[in-house]
């Protein structure tokens, strides 16, 4: 019997895009399914996925994600030619696709991948419509984050 990779109890997160929340102001979030091949699911189960460089685009009324890197396992699927950077289709409802198309075309927003996680036995991708932050917005976020960290430190030491 294969040993499972130890993880935090109750944690279903596979990968996070930490830079997305720093670079963009997230407006709306959506949950999308991902169309995967068998070797990709095996690689994701072993944690060999990176979504930091990925982006979502719309073509012919469908959503696709590109730039997601899923590194193939050495032992899995020797008969299949594995492309780690292939474009994968996202599974969304028609209403969600229309909202995304409206946000991109009308409001000038972009669609970014925020996180990938397990929902039951399915791989889900949290995507969000976003606007790029200016430099002063990033500085304000960094300042707020530093203050929260310092405040937690002060409170910890004052309780002793």
Query: Is residue 42 domain-resident?
Result: yes
Whole-prediction pTM = 0.74
Query: Is residue 159 domain-resident?
Result: no
> Which residue, among 102, 100, 130, 108, has the nearest Cα to 32 in the 3D structure?
100
CATH code of the domain covering residue 78: 2.40.280.10
pLDDT in tens, 2-24: 544 545 555 788 889 888 887 88
Token digits of residue 93: 């409802």
pLDDT in tens, 27-70: 889 999 999 888 888 888 888 899 888 888 999 989 999 988 88
Query: Is residue 143 domain-resident?
Result: no
Query: Is residue 90 domain-resident?
Result: yes
Token digits of residue 117: 């996680």
The residue range of the domain holding 61 is 13-133
What is the spatial distance between Cα 63 and Cα 14, in angstroms, rounded to a whole number?
21
Number of domain units in the chain: 1
pLDDT in tens, 95-143: 999 988 888 888 778 889 999 999 988 999 999 898 877 777 778 878 8
Residues pairing with 31 in the sheet: 126
Helix (H, G, I), strand (E, B) or coil at 74: coil
Query: Is residue 68 domain-resident?
Result: yes
């Amino acid at each position: 019997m294969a040993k499972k990779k130890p993880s935090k109890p109750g944690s279903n997160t596979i990968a996070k895009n930490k830079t997305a929340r720093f670079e963009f102001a997230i407006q709306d979030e959506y949950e999308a399914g991902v169309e995967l091949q068998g070797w990709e699911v095996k690689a994701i189960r072993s944690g060999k996925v990176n979504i930091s460089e990925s982006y979502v685009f719309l073509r012919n009324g469908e959503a696709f994600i590109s730039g997601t890197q899923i590194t193939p396992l050495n032992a899995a699927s020797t008969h299949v030619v594995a492309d780690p950077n292939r474009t994968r289709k996202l599974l969304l409802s028609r209403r969600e696709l229309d909202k995304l198309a409206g946000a991109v075309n009308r409001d000038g927003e972009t669609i970014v991948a925020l996180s990938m996680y397990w929902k039951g036995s399915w791989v889900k991708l949290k995507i969000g419509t976003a606007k790029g932050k200016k430099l002063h917005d990033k500085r304000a976020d960094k300042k707020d984050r530093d203050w929260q960290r310092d405040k937690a430190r002060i409170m910890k030491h004052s309780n002793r």
